[in-house]
Chains A and B, each alone.
Chain A
Amino acid sequence: MNAPSREARAVDVLVVGAGPAGLAAAARLAARGAGRVEVLERDPEAGGVPRSCGHPGFGADARGRALDGPGYARRAVRAAVRAGAVLRTGVSVVGWAGPLALETAAPTGPETLVARAVVLATGARERSRPARLLPGTRPEGVLTAGELHRTVALFGPRPERIGRRAVVVGGGSTAAHAVRLLRRAGVAVAAVVREERYAAGLGVPVLAGAAVTELTGRGRLAGVTVRDRHGGSRAIRCDTLVLTGDWVPEHDLARAGGLPLTPATRAPLVDASLRTGVPGVFAAGGLLHGGTPAVRASAEGRTAAEAVWTHLNGGA
């Protein structure tokens, strides 16, 4: 193992986050010959959110076969590595050491890395229960769709790892995927509760124009109170509550680096070529708009790569 050193190590490009956007940016830059392109991933494996999404909807491979999330992630990782990018997993970026210098933590010790350009591809997360100001008790059994996917990826689709009867909050494909995953894992879905007024055919009761207003239960979740579209309240018994959507950017580094933010979303403010307000710092993917489909995030990664390339070659 290398002796830990606080001397700054220089690379050409640092990409923070090995999800679809970061991997695509790294692959494009490495293929272009941008020098040492290093991708830093805090999780033990690269691939990002798709890694735990075992359903189709991630485009197709060269032969036209539909890809699921893990398949997509594997291809994205392979493409970046083959192009010559250096992929480092289990490395956390904990802050900035200078305008284009990052501090990292890893089992090999803390390090300071300095680059000619930095691409932030740190993604987004779903708002947690307290961030949604959901009142009531604080029982176990409340999780985001992201946590549900990671739980199944780690422990398998087993009800004893999740619960017996769930209520899902939210709309769109994230909620639909959560419903399917719950049922595959043998968890009954009591209802889907959403503010939106549409009730898509998910095969489970959908309460449209409704909202969860309180959680009950000690130790384990016992149920939720739901306000329906007419203002009435009803109790739904459940031991699991899955909160989907409602994305917030993982903008820790963006904020710590003093990047100007978009007021509404608090994502870093970028121009059309994905340059942020700080020269040499770029952003792409879910960090800019949470819940970005992988295919779009990876297209953004390539857009950012072009801007980085211009920057490295003396352009703006």
Chain B
Amino acid sequence: MIRPGHRRPGGTVASRPAGAPGRGASPGPADRTEDGGHVSRRGPLPGRAGDAYDVVVVGAGVVGCAIARALARYRLRVALVDAADDVGEGTSKANTAILHTGFDAAPGTLEAGLVRAGHRLLTAYAAETGIPLEPVGALLVAWDEEQRAALPGLAAKAARNGHHATRVVGADELRRREPHLGPGALGALAVPGESIVCPWSTTLAYATQAVLSGVDLLLGCRVTDVVPGPRSGAGAPHRLATTRGPLTARFLVNACGLHADGFDALLGVRDFTVTPRRGQLLVLDAYARPLVRHVLLPVPGPLGKGVLVTPTVYGNVLVGPTAEDLDDRTATGTTADGLAGLREQGARIVPALAEEEVTAAYAGLRAATGREDYRCAAHAGLRYVTIGGIRSTGLSSSLALAEHALGLLAECGLRTGPERPLAAVRMPNLGEASPRPCRDAAAVARDPELGAVVCHCEHVTRGEVRAALASPVPPAGLAGLRRRTRAGTGRCQGGHCRPALRALFEEYGKGAGVR
């Protein structure tokens, strides 16, 4: 466990004792507590020059964090680096928060297999670590005869993807299962297993477990250049120039998401080009939650995929995404047309949604590459693995994708040695399906701060905020705090609690490498 007492000036959190080997002789849990990785956001990088990492994973989104966690099972020296000052700052924080079964993937693709396996793995992992997940199931709603006629074909495609439990339901059953649907719904394909999940907790759980198991998490660290080691001979490592100084790595993993092609280019690899596809999303007030019971998916047609309406684990409703192909990889702004369109389309699917206030609006970019599949490759001579083109399914496939990445690293010559157990991790509950801490009499009796509500919209307490600020991967600012606690994500969007949260951050968030 990384304790506050281990913090060093300059924002460094607990590193291994100087001179001690990276891995203790006994890999038991007790050893692990003294053996957590280093987390920092600024200042010089840890370790001595020439002390190469076995593997450096570039990109701390949901996929990079999952890969780092998978590598943490072995006695390897691993660093997870990201240009942003927190994990999950790109596509991983702005998506539809759905754990897909892979029923509608292109059969036979890498993506289809990994989403299917990832669904199973993440469902189990969520139960083990306390990540909020609700298997509400999906309904692909047909609004015209053409769409209804397409449903059996979609069921057959699902079967080819190994999902045999889908079923076409008629208008009456559909209306019973989803009574607030708008007029004109003719039927649906019911897809059990499609789940809603907390994407923030998922990324953070991977990162936390990786760090507790010895991975160094280097944030605010943009890789600007790579001098590859010689192609022959495993001796000389890759040399990376970063905004925080040099790093050396025997093996490299590209998990750069939207920037995967740019990173490939640093190593002279040119396999694909990323086209950012923007998805704008609206979050509707929690009052809308009783209006929507399933993930309501559109039937894909000639006019594209259309928008979905889904509940979230936080107890509100999401409408989106739009699909706009852009050039700018930072264009995460919303547009007037986009927001108005989502408002209208949401109200067509569930008319009562029009009555509810918008709680939040955001846009995320998914990494499209012009192919209906991932772009994963082992560049054996370079001791380099690219995990690219993850599009919109990285959350769903992340745990399986991490195993796939280990396989690609093995192809590149990485010898991992025997496995050891990962440090245990338990995430604070951000979901509405379980009781919030402030209503848990025993918890509040133990820590009265868990009864002191500071964010009134979402019932987040001072105790939860303080715990997040003292956690192994603490937030860099109020935005990171939101994703760790829900504080400020409610209907007033922090208008009431932000001054108090700022004061708490300044009191308890110091020394966490926070700018």
Chain A residues within 8 Å of B, Cβ to Cβ = 1, 3-6, 42, 90, 92, 94, 103, 105-110, 125-131, 133, 135-138, 143-144, 146-147, 150-151, 153-155, 213-216, 218, 248, 255
Contact = CB atoms under 8 A, between A and B. Distances in A.
Given A105-B459, A137-B333, A138-B362, A150 B451 contact: no
Contact of B499 (A42, A154, A213): A154
B444 A133 contact: no
A133 B343 CA distance: 10
Given A107-B451, A146-B495, A255-B287, A131 B441 contact: no
Contacts of A255: 287
CB-based closest 5 A-B pairs: A107-B448, A105-B438, A4-B441, A128-B493, A92-B453
A127 B358 CA distance: 10
A133 B491 contact: no
A213 B336 contact: yes
Contact of A106 (B283, B358, B451): B451
Contact of A110 (B359, B439, B456): B439
B347 interface: no
Contacts of B494: 147
Chain B interface, >50% SS class: mixed
Nearest to B461: A105
B441 A6 contact: yes
Contact of B358 (A109, A131, A214): A131
Nearest to B444: A109
Given A110-B439, A133-B343, A137-B333, 15 more contacts: A4-B445, A92-B453, A105-B459, A105-B461, A107-B449, A108-B448, A108-B451, A127-B357, A135-B336, A135-B338, A138-B333, A147-B494, A154-B500, A216-B333, A248-B357
A94 B459 CA distance: 8
Given A92-B459, A128-B495, A133-B343, A107 B334 contact: no
Contacts of B186: none
B340 interface: yes
A1 B358 contact: no
A159 to B, nearest CB: 15
Contact of A130 (B333, B360, B440, B442): B360
24 contacts: A3-B445, A92-B438, A94-B438, A94-B453, A105-B444, A105-B459, A108-B448, A109-B441, A109-B444, A109-B448, A125-B492, A126-B495, A128-B495, A130-B493, A136-B333, A138-B333, A146-B495, A147-B498, A151-B499, A154-B500, A214-B333, A216-B333, A218-B330, A255-B287
Contacts of B136: none
Contacts of A90: 452
Nearest to B342: A133
A214 B493 CA distance: 18
Given A90-B452, A94-B459, A109-B451, A135 B333 contact: yes
Given A4-B444, A42-B456, A125-B495, A133 B438 contact: no
A6 B439 CA distance: 10
A144 B445 CA distance: 35
Given A135-B334, A135-B338, A255-B287, A107 B495 contact: no
B496 interface: yes
A5 B442 CA distance: 10
A218 B449 CA distance: 34
Contacts of A4: 441-442, 444-445
A110 B438 CA distance: 7
Given A125-B496, A146-B495, A147-B498, A110 B451 contact: yes
Contacts of A131: 357-359, 491, 493
A135 B339 contact: yes
B20 interface: no
Contacts, number: 119
Query: A4, A105, A213, A248 — which one has the most chain B CB atoms within 10 A of its CB?
Result: A105
Contact of B334 (A110, A136, A144, A155): A136
A154 B360 CA distance: 26
Nearest to B498: A147
A215 B335 CA distance: 10
B498 A143 contact: yes
A79 to B, nearest CB: 25
A94 B361 CA distance: 25
A155 B507 CA distance: 13
Interface of B: 283, 287, 330, 332-336, 338-340, 343, 357-362, 438-442, 444-445, 448-449, 451-453, 456, 459, 461, 491-496, 498-500, 502-503
A82 B89 CA distance: 53
Contact of B456 (A92, A103, A130): A92
Contacts of B502: 155
Nearest to B459: A94
A216 B331 CA distance: 11
Contacts of B359: 128, 130-131
B453 A147 contact: no
Contacts of A103: 439
A4 B440 CA distance: 10
B302 to A, nearest CB: 28
B200 to A, nearest CB: 16
Contacts of A215: 333
Contacts of A130: 283, 358-361, 493
B495 A144 contact: yes
Contacts of B492: 125, 128
A131 B358 CA distance: 5
A107 B444 contact: yes
Contacts of B358: 130-131, 133
B499 A150 contact: yes
A107 B452 contact: yes
Nearest to A152: B499
A129 B444 contact: no
Nearest to B463: A107
A147 B334 contact: no
Contacts of A6: 441
Contacts of B334: 135-136
A153 B439 CA distance: 30
B457 to A, nearest CB: 8
Contacts of B459: 92, 94, 105
Contacts of A128: 359, 491-493, 495
Given A4-B445, A110-B444, A133 B499 contact: no
B503 A154 contact: yes
A128 B360 CA distance: 9
A142 B41 CA distance: 26
Nearest to B340: A133
A148 to B, nearest CB: 9
Query: A106, A110, A150, A216 — which one has the most chain B CB atoms within 10 A of its CB?
Result: A110
B340 A105 contact: no
B496 A150 contact: yes
Contacts of A154: 499-500, 503
Contacts of A92: 438, 453, 456, 459
Contacts of B498: 143, 147, 151
Contacts of B333: 135-138, 214-216
A150 B338 CA distance: 33
Contacts of A126: 495
A121 B505 CA distance: 30
Given A105-B439, A135-B339, A255-B287, A155 B499 contact: yes
A103 B438 CA distance: 11
